[in-house]
């Protein structure tokens, strides 16, 4: 599958006349709780010819490939990506921290040198808490629940706990978060769910796990209090990102 993905990325480069400077896995395979039939969520950052960035009319800055049962591939233009980084977009940090990398370049290494300096704890906390709340409210409130959705609530809650503790972007892998910040008394419950998820194509519905729901309720309230107490943060400087963008586009964009 790794070779298939790399071939698909090469095909996208040719068809779109772009250079991909970074590509990685996002979603359940990168998080470490994929089921046997989970699809591949491939995300990439690309650069276009320099003329693209000198146009007066607005151009589309994402590439979205048709989704099939196995592959979900899409990417961001470097300009869009760096603007999102300036705004401390948590998804950007997740892509960068993916444990499964399909392609990287020296240009991406230059980007990586500045990434963490744009991380904002409050932005990350709000992002992950929002994901946890949304999934909890939609999928885990009834007597019978979609069991796999517990991971889509517990993981962002643990990401929040990591941010509060470390003040850095959280790791992608669920196991790292569990080891670092999940309370010991909760680990057997989560470990049991994780074992079931890894060997089952669809966990389906089951009885609500009251102990987990109580844990979620407690932490949603606690994290909201923590976020509300944080001060507002100043916007980051554009200079480093402008210099980085200009150097990469001149180097790669000028080659087309």
pLDDT along the chain (256 residues), means of 10: 96 97 96 87 97 92 91 97 97 97 98 96 97 96 91 97 97 97 97 84 82 97 96 90 96 74
Instruction: Give the pLDDT confidence score for residue 203 in this predicted structure.
Output: 72
191 CA to centre of own chain: 22
Can you read off the two tokens belonging to residue 198? 């890894």
> What DSSP element (H or E) covers 239?
helix 239-252
Instruction: Give the pLDDT confidence score for residue 235 in this predicted structure.
Output: 84
Task: Spell out a b/e string for 149-173, using b for 16 or more CB atoms within 10 Å of the CB, else e.
Answer: bbbbbbbbbbbbbbbbeeeebbbbb
Task: Spell out a b/e string for 99-136, using b for 16 or more CB atoms within 10 Å of the CB, else e.
Answer: ebebbebebbeebeeebeebbbbebbbbbbbebbbebb
CA dist 207 → 24, 140, 188 (Å): 35, 10, 17
Task: Spell out a b/e string for 50-61, using b for 16 or more CB atoms within 10 Å of the CB, else e.
Answer: eebbeeeeeeeb
What are the extents of the domains in the chain? 2-118+234-255, 121-229
Q: Please name the residues in contact with 83: beta carbons below 8 A apart, sequence gap of 6 or more.
A: none
**What is the assigned CATH class of domain 2-118+234-255?**
alpha beta
Instruction: Give the pLDDT confidence score for residue 202 in this predicted structure.
Output: 65
Alpha-carbon span 101 to 44, nearest angstrom: 10
> What DSSP element (H or E) covers 192?
helix 187-199
User: How crowded is residue 199: how many other Cβ atoms within 10 Å of its Cβ?
Assistant: 9
């Amino acid at each position: 599958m790794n070779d298939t993905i790399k071939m698909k990325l090469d095909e996208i480069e040719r068809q779109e006349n772009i250079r991909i400077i970074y590509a990685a896995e996002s979603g359940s395979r990168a998080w470490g709780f994929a089921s046997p039939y989970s699809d591949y969520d491939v995300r990439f950052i690309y650069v276009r010819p320099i003329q693209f960035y000198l146009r007066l009319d607005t151009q589309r800055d994402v590439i979205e490939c048709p989704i099939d049962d196995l592959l979900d591939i899409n990417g961001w233009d470097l300009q869009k990506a760096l603007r999102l980084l300036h705004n401390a977009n948590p998804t950007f940090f997740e892509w960068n921290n993916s444990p499964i990398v399909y392609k990287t370049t020296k240009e991406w290494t230059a980007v990586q040198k500045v990434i963490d300096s744009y991380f904002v704890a409050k932005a990350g906390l709000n992002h992950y808490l929002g994901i946890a709340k949304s999934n909890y409210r939609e999928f885990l409130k009834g007597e019978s629940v979609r069991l796999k959705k517990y991971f889509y609530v517990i993981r962002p809650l643990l990401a929040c706990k990591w941010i509060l503790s470390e003040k850095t972007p959280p790791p992608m892998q669920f196991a790292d978060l569990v080891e670092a910040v999940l309370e010991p008394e909760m680990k057997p419950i989560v470990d049991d769910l994780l074992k079931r998820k890894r060997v089952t194509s669809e966990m389906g519905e089951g009885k609500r796990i009251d102990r987990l729901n109580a844990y979620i309720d407690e932490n949603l309230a606690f994290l909201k209090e923590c976020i509300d107490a944080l001060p507002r943060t100043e916007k980051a400087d554009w200079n480093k990102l402008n210099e980085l963008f200009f150097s990469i586009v001149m180097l790669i964009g000028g080659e087309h």
